[in-house]
Amino acid sequence: MEEFTIQPPRTNYLNAEYGIKSWLLTKDHKRIGILYMGAISFFFLIGSLYAMAIRLELLTPQGDLTQSSTYNKMFTQHGIIMVFFFLIPSIPATLGNFLVPMMIGAKDLAFPRINLLSWYIYMLGGIITIYALLAGGVDTGWTFYTPYSTTFSNSYVLATGLGIFINGFSSILTGLNFIVTIHTMRAPGMTWYRLPLFIWSHYATSLIMILGTPVIAITVLLLAFERLAKIGIFDPALGGDPVLFQHLFWFYSHPAVYIMVLPGMGVVSELIANFSRKNIFGYKFVAFSSLAIAVFGFLVWGHHLFVASQSVYAGMIFSFLSFAVAIPSAIKVFNWTATLYKASISYDTPMLYALGFIGLFTIGGMTGLFLAALATDVHLSDTYFVIAHFHYIMVGGTLLAYLGGLHYWWPKVSGRMYPEGWGRFSALVVFIGFNLTFSPQFVLGYMGMPRRYHTYPVEEVSWQVLHVLSTAGASILGIGLLIPLIYLAWSLRYGRLAEANPWQLPGLEWQTASPPPTENFIETPIVREEAYEFAPPETKEVVGKFEREKPFPFYG
């Protein structure tokens, strides 16, 4: 196998410079990706602790672990931390930051300084939000519905709002950077239709980031005006309209769901193609379905308002459009499945995560139909059904894709291999734990259990049974997430040294050393093939009775 190994250069991006200053002032997109990785892991840990506390409280119908006011803060802060400080930046800011330039054969993002700035903005927003939590917390729900948030809540709404407002700019800058980079910095020969699907999905995500995020910034600003200066925008007692807030909020926050899941889809497209050694089935359909999702995603916000006194005709239009946005997602699922046909499928950890993603995302997507359909949404909205549905998308989708991607690119990022056996084992534990946590919640919602409930009726015995199952699942899920934390940290020091191309793949990021040099490629690569081109005829050779491909040329 030594012919696959490219000798790592003496210096790489990790050891090019030493010292804390070399990290905090770095303009290297790879190092910034790692800064983000550390930060979002921290926020994920905090969000998970809230989740565990919530699950423990719900073991019994009574409120015996916390006060109602504490419980309300816990679910609010779980939502805010997970949505704004983990899910939205998760894949784009870490893997995207690291890989977008590498996959298109560029030395860095178009604006390295802005990239670093975006991390500082993220950290500033995060620190302000953490301050708000420590100072007393916030209890409005992550949705900040008015007039509760502007007039009635006595918690740290403004400080949290400021944190989210500031954090939004890091999202906008990242999106801007990706769009410009993808347009202008592709290597020679890297045409649009040769782009890996990871890039297409990040392009679509970036569009939503720069078009949608300003709206949430404006919305939070208006909220602050009303809360601070009593300017009547949302509170009817001041002459405002409370439902207007919901329109503005969901105009961003529904597309934000696609900010969270589209990069995950990009990761899964990479994993499915590469670990089955096939070109993705229907490349263009998968690529354009990302763009279709980004566009249609802006037109469906009203499906959060079916029981919020929106007009019945508006409800029908939003319901119709919500069904329309389901189609591109369905196309992706079918194409991933079809890619496996007559493939050569490996059972490595990243592939297990990718297969888990397809299953859970399919369930998450299909259960969205219950909420897009008007009649059933009336019953199910604001119940645990909604909770289960979006956790299937956010955790079963985004988190699994993130973990899959993390394992897949771990050799490239760290220069070390993770322990494969532990990887497969923890992927299985995560999958089982996740399903046990969230599938009972579909039933719970249909039974009528509203979300954001600190206590529930004792006489509803089945509710408690379902909650106990869910909490048991959450414990398993928690263990499944701790295992990778431990072995990935372990591998940084003790893991086997990674080859340049340990999976033997054609993607550009694998055609350079692991870990890569600061400039990514010693010489600018020239792209001559489509993405996922595993077996160009001229590189095939016969070894014994097997046909195999020749070692990949080092482009350039």
Is 347 one of the binding residues for other proteins (CB under 8 A)?
yes
* Given 20, 134, 229, 312, the residue binding other proteins (CB under 8 A): 312
Q: Which is nearer to other proteins, 111 or 148 (CB)?
A: 148
Q: How far is the CB of 171 from other proteins (least distance, A)?
A: 26
Other C-beta atoms lying within 10 Å of the C-beta of residue 163: 26
CB of 177 to other proteins, least distance (A): 31
Kindly tell me which of 132 and 363 has the beta carbon lying closer to other proteins: 363
**Smallest gap, in angstroms, from Cβ of residue 11 to other proteins?**
32
For 252, the enclosing helix (H) or strand (E) is helix 242-275
In this chain, which stretch among 167-175, 179-187, 381-389, 487-495 interacts with other proteins, using CB under 8 A?
381-389
Q: Is 366 in the site for other proteins (CB under 8 A)?
A: yes
Q: Reply yes or no: is the peptide bond before residue 515 cis, omega within 30 of 0.
A: yes
Nearest by Cα to 29 from 126, 75, 95: 95
Using the minimum distance from each CB to other proteins, give the nearer residue, 183 or 540.
Answer: 540
**Chain residues 152-181 in contact with other proteins, contact rule CB under 8 A:** 152-153
- Residue 546 pairs with which residues in a beta bridge? 543
Among 373, 432, 469, 483, binds other proteins (CB under 8 A): 373
The answer to whether 139 contacts other proteins (rule: CB under 8 A) is: yes
Q: Which residues contact 41 (CB under 8 A, 6 or more apart)?
A: 485
Distance, CA of 419 to CA of 407 (rounded, Å): 10
Q: Does 42 bind other proteins (CB under 8 A)?
A: no
| Contacts of other proteins in 521-550 (CB under 8 A) | 533-535, 540, 543, 546-549
- Whether residue 192 contacts residue 133, with contact meaning beta carbons closer than 8 Å, is answered with no
Q: Does 51 bind other proteins (CB under 8 A)?
A: no
Amino acid at 320: F
CB of 99 to other proteins, least distance (A): 24
Using alpha carbons, select from 244, 241, 248, 240 the residue that is nearest to residue 216. 248
**Residue 144 within binding range of other proteins, rule CB under 8 A:** no
d(CA 498, CA 415): 5
Q: Which is nearer to other proteins, 460 or 519 (CB)?
A: 460
Stretch (H or E) spanning 543: strand 540-543
Tell me which residues in 184-243 interact with other proteins (CB under 8 A). Answer: 235-237, 241-243
Which residue, 480, 554, 450, is CA-closest to 512? 554
3-state secondary structure of 267: helix
* Out of 14, 49, 56, 447, the residue judged to bind other proteins by CB under 8 A: 447
Which letter does DSSP use for residue 34 in this model? H
* Only segment of 33-41, 68-76, 178-186, 257-265 that touches other proteins (CB under 8 A): 68-76
Nearer to other proteins, 20 or 312 (CB): 312
- Shortest Cβ distance from residue 467 to other proteins (Å)? 13
Which of residues 183, 230, 284, 528 is near other proteins by CB under 8 A?
284
* From candidates 334, 425, 490, 554, binder to other proteins by CB under 8 A: 334
Does residue 134 touch other proteins according to CB under 8 A? Answer: no
Q: Does residue 66 belong to the site contacting other proteins (CB under 8 A)?
A: no
Tokens encoding 292: 């279709």
Q: Any idea what DSSP says for residue 192?
A: G
Q: Which CB, 48 or 153, lies closer to other proteins?
A: 153
- Least separation in angstroms between CB 478 and other proteins: 25
CA angle centred on 468, ends 462 and 470, rounded to 5°: 105
Please list every residue from 383 through 402 that binds other proteins, using CB under 8 A: 383
For the CB of residue 140, give the shortest distance to other proteins in the complex, in Å. Answer: 8
The residue within the footprint of other proteins, chosen from 11, 15, 68, 191 (CB under 8 A), is: 68
How far is 214 from 252, CA to CA, in rounded Å?
8
User: What gap in Å lies between CA 108 and CA 511, rounded to an integer?
Assistant: 16
Q: What is the closest distance, in whole angstroms, from the C-beta atom of residue 381 to other proteins in the complex? A: 7
359 binds other proteins (CB under 8 A): yes
**Calpha distance 123→140 (Å, rounded):** 23
What's the rounded Cα separation, in Å, for the pair 324 and 292?
A: 10
List, as one string, the DSSP characters of 351-396. Answer: HHHHHHHHHHHHHHHHHHHHHHSHHHHHHHTTBHHHHHHHHHHIII
| 3-class DSSP state of 533 | coil
Which of 74, 182, 333, 395 is the binder for other proteins (CB under 8 A)? 333
Q: Is 355 in the site for other proteins (CB under 8 A)?
A: yes
Residues 462-491 that bind other proteins (CB under 8 A): 462, 466
State yes or no: residue 288 binds other proteins (CB under 8 A): no
- Terminal Cα-to-Cα distance of the chain (whole angstroms): 22
Q: Are 269 and 408 in contact (CB under 8 A)?
A: no
Q: Is 522 helix (H, G, I), strand (E, B) or coil?
A: coil
Of the candidates 11, 15, 22, 69, which one interacts with other proteins according to CB under 8 A? Answer: 69
